[in-house]
Amino acid sequence: MANIIQKFMACKTRWDFGRMDKRRDAGQSIPDDVMRFENILYGPDKKFQKWQYLDVYRPAGKSQKEKLPVIVSVHGGAWVYGDKDVYQWYCMRLAQRGFAVINFSYRLAPETAFPCSVEDTELVFQWLGNNADEYGFDINNVFAVGDSAGAHLLALYASAITNDEYAKNFTFIKSKPFSLRGVALNCGKYNLDPSLEKNPFMKMLVEALLQSKITKEGLELLNASAHVTKAFPPAFIMTCIGDFQFVQAPFITKALEQAGVQFEYHCYGSEEKPLWHVFHCDPHLEEAVVCNDDECEFFRKHIK
């Protein structure tokens, strides 16, 4: 179970991040051109049921029977913060670009331990396959986006469904009638190594995620850049000048390149006009519009 320090750290992070996100999202409203299906239960954990709900968004002008390519969004929040409500505005903007979008909450640390967040991601993909007809999902064209900690979790999940050896750590993953056609990994942390000892806050976050002291085995399990194989889905890797995780992008791009995975690397902003971590969630920012257009165009390139 989480200790007092981890609980305090999580509460402070949730307060700080929540305050910034509320300021960013102030004044937003549900677009007229988006159809919403809200608060759909996808998981069985009654103790933490509040974190096992999802929403579906579709372009309002499309018949529900029309099958659309799907984007599953894995939200960010340092593994301890965030839910579908924080990400609804960003996800509805993706839906406006012609996709069905699944926006879900997952069980957080330190209340739950890894791999609960990966298990919830798997449950959402299972739900997608089981409900494709009802919500008009084209299971031939399933994509996913992940931001910050969500990019880390999505990278781990993508490896878990494409790397048989790594998959042994996740016995809850089942076969599904579709595969991931592509992923977008935004401002993520991909490499976890012993240097965490030099960063007390990150060390506490990882210990909260694992619910244990950091070990070599634990770091290897969480090291997203270590489990990529040639079967990893095509990837759009995004960062920006001004992102505090900027130095992490080369870890995943190097792994993708060495494995022979198709990928695109995009860096936004400049030294003269730096941006910030997960800038693409800010609807008022021109660069966010460009980035989200670029990612959706990347997905369209991989529609079959």
Three-state DSSP at 239 gives: strand
Encode pLDDT of 141-162 as tens digits. 999 999 999 999 999 999 999 9
How confident is the model over 36-69, as pLDDT tens digits? 999 999 999 999 999 999 999 999 988 888 999 9
Alpha-carbon torsion (103, 104, 110, 115), positive or negative: negative
User: Residue 1 pLDDT more than 60?
Assistant: no
| Contact indicator for 237, 264 with CB cutoff of 8 Å | yes
* pLDDT digits 0-9 by tens, 166-199: 999 999 999 999 999 999 999 999 998 767 767 8
Q: In the predicted model, is pLDDT for residue 298 greater than 70? A: yes
pLDDT value at residue 66: 94
8 A C-beta contact, residue 263 and residue 251? no
Its pTM stands at 0.97
pLDDT recorded at residue 272: 97
Calculate what percentage of the chain has a pLDDT beyond 70: 98
Closest CA to 118 of 57, 169, 55, 165: 169
Q: What is the pLDDT of residue 5?
A: 85
Q: Are strands 53-59 and 34-41 parallel, antiparallel or unpaired?
A: antiparallel
Average pLDDT, the chain: 95
Tokens of 28: 């937003």
Beta-bridge mates of residue 137: 68
